[in-house]
Structure 1
Amino acid sequence: MSKYKCIIFDCDGVLVDSEPISIQILVNMANSYGASIDLAYGMKHFKGSFMYECIEKISKLTKEALPDTFENDYRKQSFEAFKKDMKPIEGIKNVLNELTIPFCVASSGPENKIKLNLELSGLLPYFENKIYSCYTLQKWKPDPAVFLWAAKDMGFSPNECLIIEDSLSGVKGAKLGGFDVFGFTAHDYNNELKAVATKTFGNMAELLKLI
């Protein structure tokens, strides 16, 4: 029997394979302002960052302030791209079907983005009324606020919950909140998670055994 009573999943890169799509849009938009970067750069520097951090990083690359419409333009373009190419992370449906304890999602993205990506990947029915967004709190990872909110609302304390994350900021936030956190390393391009996470794994097929 698992020692955990609740699983809190990150969304992008853990439930849905959205990050190559969304980061490519960011890269394209950054390059339109003269950044001259590629997807590999974007995955290394933007993955796991919330939007305001990404905008700040791009502004430093372009040496000019980005327009106030940048985030709205990004959301519009990325949502259109998601509708064409969104897929669930390989093996995650089997994990969700096999879990016998409660679970939810806590993400840095806005709630409408979380819902759209879960719907497009066929995962939304698993997470109805169990979606927690950093935008609601206006506090972003590595601040643990979204995890603490999710745990409390689900009816559990941090030591009863396990968080599944794929970004360094998410893993750090989980640890700061007093949670165990397993790092999903399929796209851990900087090899950052092993030194910080409680455990790491590279394939969703491994997760049920680790729990």
Structure 2
Amino acid sequence: MSKYKCIIFDCDGVLVDSEPLGNQIMVDMANELGATINLDYAYQHFKGNALKNCIHQISDLISGEIPSNFESEYRRRSFNLFKSDIKPIEHVLDTLNNLTLPFCVASSGPENKIQLNLELTGLWPYFKSNVFSCYGVQKWKPDPAVFLWAAETMGFQPSECVVIEDSLVGVHAAISGGFDVFGFTAHDYKNELQKSATKTFDSFLKLPKLLEC
């Protein structure tokens, strides 16, 4: 029997394999403006961060100004790529089908992005009434506000929930909100999560056993 009563999933990199896609678009657009970065740089500096923070970092890498339509163009390009290439994280669908605990998703992305990616990967029916976006509270990770909002709405205290995250920013947000947090490490190439997360796992096949402990 699990000590937890609710699971709060991050979306990008946890439920849907969108991180390589979104970060590659960010790299391409940054380099078009004169930056010289690669995907590894993006994973290190952009992963889990609010888009506005990523844009601010890019502004420090270039000599000119960020175009006023950068955010809208990023959304356009990334949404188009999601529509053609996005996939669910391996074994997530089976995991959701077998969960007995209530669960929800809490993401830094805007609601239309969360819905799009969950729809494209067949996961939307599992979450459609339990989706929480940082845009809804206008506070972004590492602020824990979105997790606290999700827990309260779901009817639980932070101590009764576990957050599933793949970024160090998200792990820190969960911890600061009083949550246990399991770090999903399938794409944690620099082994950053193990030092901070309550527990870590690299495959969703391992999550059920972790929830029982």
TM-score of the aligned structures, taking structure 1 as reference length:
0.98
- 5+ residue gaps, structure 2, are none
Shift of 1:189: 2.2
The alignment partner of 1:182 has SS state of strand
Higher mean C-alpha deviation, range 62-71 or range 191-200: 62-71
For 1:155, give the aligned amino acid: G
| Structure 1: gaps (5+ residues) | none
Q: What residue is the counterpart of 1:10 in the other structure?
A: 10
Instruction: Please list the CA deviations of residues 97-127 of structure 1 after superposition, one character each: whole Å capped at 9, or x if unmatched.
Output: 1100100000000000000000000000000
Whole-angstrom CA distance in 2 between matches of 1:108 and 1:64: 27
- What does 1:21-36 correspond to in 2, within 5 Å? 21-36=21-36
SS of the residue corresponding to residue 7 of structure 1 reads strand
2:149 maps to which residue? Answer: 149
- Write the deviation string for residues 121-176 of structure 1: whole angstroms up to 9, x where unpaired: 00000001100000111100010000000000000010110100000110000000
The one-letter amino acid paired with 1:96 is: L
Secondary structure in structure 2 of the residue aligned to 1:162: strand
In 2: Cα distance, 1:31 partner to 1:147 partner: 33
Partner of 1:115 in structure 2? Answer: 115
For 2:39, the equivalent position in structure 1 comes to 39
Tell me, in whole angstroms, the C-alpha distance in 2 between the residues paired with 1:125 and 1:103: 12
What is the match of residue 136 of structure 2? 136
1:198 is aligned to 2:198: yes
- Do 1:9 and 1:15's aligned partners in 2 also have CA atoms closer than 8 Å? yes
Q: What is the SS of the residue equivalent to 2:61?
A: helix
Shift of 1:29: 0.4
Residue identity over aligned pairs, in percent, reads 64
Give 1:39 deviation, angstroms.
Answer: 1.5
Cα deviation digits, residues 172-193 of structure 1 (max 9, x gap):
0000000000000111123211
Q: TM-score, normalised by structure 2?
A: 0.97
